[in-house]
């Protein structure tokens, strides 16, 4: 219910005058009667030792850092005593935020990474955290799993925060993508318009606005950023902070948002309420981030799977694999236009050109040929060395639309290659051949059970390759079979009757007018 209050979140410090010490490998590494005990909601008490009471000659600072939005960035220390080592056994807040200022110049230990922590003569008990679940956690457990999209998850989470009294007006989550064109998927939420996803290209990495942002800093592993914008002494050291200041925002927090595999993402929150976020507000958010991250991770993994399947298998094939056609022998007979293209003189080019130059030429060729197929609605099935095998499936009884799109793709490929060669007069020109055929092919999984490939097989696929091989013989960039020409019904230029290797009889061949 809107406005309902839950058990609050707080941090509280208690001075401890009893002797407390830490042992590792049978040696005391910290010993104090001036320790500070941190009490944090739903967490066990943590003992912080003054630096003067710690044997820093036994410690080495590591590169590992974490961030708490109300305590600050934590630095970590590896402990070495004799021949024993405990990685990241202790942590400190070298420059804590105001709410955690007493932690400055103090160090705390993970009980399970040292021998023991003693309070008086007894080993200090590891106190259990409170068991009551806050409403935000309750929503995460009971409701979040039903949500079908990232945008809805973000919107519902932010509304839940508002209902719990957290004065959030904006949230941004940056999730780096495994995608050939998209650097990151950026989820943006505004209290007055809801959530949307922006697919940021790699070009954003070179823009000053990104390079000078907290997001870039955090993705490089620098911890988090907190700027209490309404305070006159606050540093306005990022463009986004200066912009928010101009909009009368009061508080800005940006922090790491990690997935279970270690992938580093970023979450930011903005408040326009007087006073901004309290420790209570940020604590409620901070304690649910690991659980929330798992839900976003599921959506991210699904998107990555779709992207990779479409990138490496093609759109149609990728969808079929996702739909469950993954078994050896799965397939169907389809009627389609078959495209087979090949790079002319590739063997000599690979021998005469430097590797980098040859790869650049190959990519120009693929950009033009495969790009034209995709641009006209075709499906690239395989790159066979420097050859491209693609199809334009025929839906229904009329093949003319598929034929028209294949011809458009062939014309677009010719224009693209011609322009690419024109703007590189000193480089080796791209020369190619395209064969267009029409027939029935088996579309499905072939290979061995441990390594399958989704492709087309059959006589028509082989004939398309034979049609393409006539390009060199006839001096044409595009050669079209009689079966394709009969279905296309548009004007084509005849090339006479010819025999194709390993194909019975002769047939009329055509090219573009």
In this structure, the answer to whether residues 365 and 287 fall within a common structural domain is no
447 pLDDT band, cuts 50/70/90, is confident
pLDDT value at residue 248: 97
Identify the residue with better confidence: 513 or 229.
229
355, two tokens: 């590797």
- Percent above pLDDT 90 for the chain: 66
Q: What is the pLDDT of residues 356-379, one digit of tens each?
A: 989 989 999 999 999 999 999 998
pLDDT value at residue 138: 84
Q: What is the pLDDT of residues 175-191, one digit of tens each?
A: 999 888 899 999 999 99
pLDDT value at residue 457: 82
Pick left, alpha or beta for residue 207 (phi over 0 → left; psi -120 to 50 → alpha; otherwise beta): beta
In this structure, the answer to whether residues 325 and 457 fall within a common structural domain is yes
Query: Would you say the pTM of this structure is higher than 0.75?
Result: no
Longest Cα–Cα distance of the chain, Å, equals 102
pLDDT value at residue 2: 47
In a domain, 199, yes or no: yes
Collapse the DSSP code of 272 into the 3-class scheme (helix H, G, I; strand E, B; otherwise coil) and give the result: coil
Checking if the pLDDT of 417 tops 80, the result is yes
Q: What is the pLDDT of residues 454-477, one digit of tens each?
A: 677 889 999 999 999 999 999 999
> Across residues 239-252, what is the average pLDDT?
97
Spatial contact of 162 and 5, defined as CB atoms under 8 Å apart: no
Q: What is the pLDDT of residues 55-90, one digit of tens each?
A: 999 999 999 999 999 999 999 999 999 888 999 999
**DSSP one-letter code for 217:** H
Q: What kind and span of H or E run contains 415?
A: helix 400-422
In this structure, the answer to whether residues 355 and 338 fall within a common structural domain is yes
How many domains, in total, are found in the chain?
3
Sign of CA dihedral 324, 328, 332, 334: positive
Q: Is 133 exposed, middle or buried (0-12, 13-18, 19+ CB in 10 A)?
A: middle
Question: Can you give 83-125 as a three-state secondary structure string?
Answer: CEEEEEEEEECCCCCHHHHHHCCEEEECHHHCCEEEECCEECC
Instruction: Give the CATH number of the domain where residue 383 resides.
Output: 3.30.70.1230
Side-chain half-sphere of 160: how many Cα atoms within 13 Å?
A: 22
Complete edge-to-edge strand list for the sheet that includes strand 122-123:
27-32, 20-24, 116-119, 122-123
In a domain, 170, yes or no: yes
In this structure, the answer to whether residues 300 and 327 fall within a common structural domain is no
In this structure, the answer to whether residues 184 and 248 fall within a common structural domain is yes
What is the domain extent for residue 38? 11-123
Cα 197 to Cα 106, 149, 207, 245, 257: the distances in Å are: 42, 11, 20, 25, 17
Q: Could you count the other beta carbons within 10 Å of the beta carbon of residue 68?
A: 22
Average confidence score pLDDT of the chain: 89
In this structure, the answer to whether residues 226 and 291 fall within a common structural domain is yes
> Across residues 408-436, what is the average pLDDT?
91
Residue after which a domain boundary falls, among 311, 334, 363: 311
In this structure, the answer to whether residues 45 and 163 fall within a common structural domain is no
Checking if the pLDDT of 413 tops 60, the result is yes
Spatial contact of 285 and 269, defined as CB atoms under 8 Å apart: yes
Q: What is the pLDDT of residues 297-316, one digit of tens each?
A: 999 998 988 888 777 776 76
pLDDT value at residue 502: 81
In this structure, the answer to whether residues 61 and 103 fall within a common structural domain is yes
Q: What is the pLDDT of residues 50-63, one digit of tens each?
A: 999 999 999 999 99
Cα–Cα distance measured from residue 415 to residue 371, given in angstroms and rounded to the nearest whole number: 12
123 pLDDT band, cuts 50/70/90, is low
448 pLDDT band, cuts 50/70/90, is confident
Checking if the pLDDT of 279 tops 90, the result is yes
Q: What is the pLDDT of residues 159-175, one digit of tens each?
A: 999 988 899 999 999 99
In this structure, the answer to whether residues 352 and 251 fall within a common structural domain is no
Instruction: Give the CATH number of the domain where residue 60 resides.
Output: 2.170.150.40
In a domain, 3, yes or no: no
Instruction: Give the CATH number of the domain where residue 236 resides.
Output: 3.30.450.40
In this structure, the answer to whether residues 328 and 225 fall within a common structural domain is no
Cα 206 to Cα 11, 211, 308: the distances in Å are: 40, 7, 25
Residue after which a domain boundary falls, among 296, 311, 326: 311
In a domain, 73, yes or no: yes
Q: What is the pLDDT of residues 10-32, one digit of tens each?
A: 999 999 999 999 999 889 999 99
Cα–Cα distance measured from residue 129 to residue 474, given in angstroms and rounded to the nearest whole number: 81
In this structure, the answer to whether residues 150 and 292 fall within a common structural domain is yes
**DSSP one-letter code for 423:** T
pLDDT value at residue 318: 67
Identify the residue with better confidence: 128 or 338.
338
In a domain, 4, yes or no: no
Checking if the pLDDT of 132 tops 50, the result is no
pLDDT value at residue 326: 59
356, two tokens: 């980098």
pLDDT value at residue 367: 94
In a domain, 5, yes or no: no
In a domain, 238, yes or no: yes
pLDDT value at residue 118: 76
Q: Is 426 exposed, middle or buried (0-12, 13-18, 19+ CB in 10 A)?
A: exposed
In this structure, the answer to whether residues 57 and 160 fall within a common structural domain is no
505 pLDDT band, cuts 50/70/90, is confident
117 pLDDT band, cuts 50/70/90, is confident
In a domain, 128, yes or no: no
- Percent above pLDDT 70 for the chain: 92
**Can you point out the beta strands (E) in 203-311?**
225-227, 251-258, 264-271
Residue after which a domain boundary falls, among 72, 103, 123: 123
Checking if the pLDDT of 268 tops 70, the result is yes
Residue reference for tokens 């088996």? 442
pLDDT value at residue 328: 62
Cα–Cα distance measured from residue 38 to residue 102, given in angstroms and rounded to the nearest whole number: 10
Geometric angle at alpha carbon 44, from 43 and 45, rounded to 5°: 115
């Amino acid at each position: 219910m809107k406005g309902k209050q839950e058990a609050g979140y707080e941090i509280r410090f208690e001075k401890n005058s009893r002797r407390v010490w830490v042992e590792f490998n049978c040696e005391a590494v910290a010993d104090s009667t001036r320790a500070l005990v941190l009490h944090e909601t739903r967490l066990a008490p943590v003992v912080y030792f003054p630096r003067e009471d710690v044997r820093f000659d036994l410690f080495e600072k590591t590169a590992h850092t974490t961030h708490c939005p109300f305590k600050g960035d934590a630095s970590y220390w590896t402990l070495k005593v004799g021949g024993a080592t405990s990685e990241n056994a202790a942590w400190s807040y070298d420059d804590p935020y105001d709410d955690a200022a007493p932690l400055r110049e103090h160090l705390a230990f993970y009980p399970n990474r040292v021998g023991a922590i003693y309070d008086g003569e007894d080993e200090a008990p590891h106190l259990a955290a409170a068991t009551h679940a806050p409403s935000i956690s309750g929503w995460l457990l009971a409701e979040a799993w039903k949500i079908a999209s990232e945008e809805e998850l973000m919107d519902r989470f932010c509304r839940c925060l508002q209902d719990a009294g957290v004065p959030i007006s904006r949230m941004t989550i940056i999730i780096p993508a495994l995608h050939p064109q998209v650097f990151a998927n950026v989820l943006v939420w505004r209290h007055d318009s809801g959530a949307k996803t922006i697919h940021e290209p790699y070009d954003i990495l070179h823009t000053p606005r990104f390079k000078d942002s907290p997001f870039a800093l955090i993705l490089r592993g620098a911890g988090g950023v907190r700027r209490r914008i309404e305070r006159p002494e606050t540093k306005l050291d990022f463009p986004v902070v200066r912009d928010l200041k101009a909009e009368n925002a009061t508080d800005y927090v940006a922090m790491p948002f990690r997935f279970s595999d270690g992938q580093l993402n970023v979450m930011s929150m903005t408040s326009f309420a007087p006073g901004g976020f309290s420790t209570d507000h940020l604590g409620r958010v901070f304690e649910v981030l690991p659980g929330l991250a798992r839900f976003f991770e599921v959506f991210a993994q699904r998107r990555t799977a779709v992207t990779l399947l479409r990138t490496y298998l093609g759109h149609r094939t990728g969808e079929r694999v996702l739909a469950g056609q993954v078994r050896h022998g799965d397939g169907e007979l389809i009627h389609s236009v078959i495209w087979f293209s090949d790079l002319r003189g590739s063997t000599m080019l690979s021998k005469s050109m430097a590797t980098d130059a040859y790869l650049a030429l190959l990519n120009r060729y693929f950009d033009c040929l495969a790009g034209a197929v995709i641009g006209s609605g075709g499906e690239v099935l395989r790159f066979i060395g420097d050859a491209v095998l693609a199809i334009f499936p025929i839906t229904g009884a009329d093949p003319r639309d598929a034929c028209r799109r294949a011809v458009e793709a062939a014309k677009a490929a010719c224009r693209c290659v011609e322009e690419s060669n024109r703007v590189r007069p000193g480089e080796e020109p791209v020369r190619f051949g395209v064969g267009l055929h029409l027939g029935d092919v088996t579309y499905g999984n072939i290979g061995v059970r441990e390594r399958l490939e989704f492709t087309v097989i059959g006589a028509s696929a082989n004939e398309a390759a034979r049609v393409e091989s006539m390009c060199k013989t006839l001096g044409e960039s595009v050669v079209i079979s009689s079966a394709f020409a009969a279905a296309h019904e548009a004007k084509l230029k005849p090339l006479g009757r010819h025999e194709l290797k390993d194909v019975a009889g002769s047939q009329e061949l055509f090219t573009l007018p």
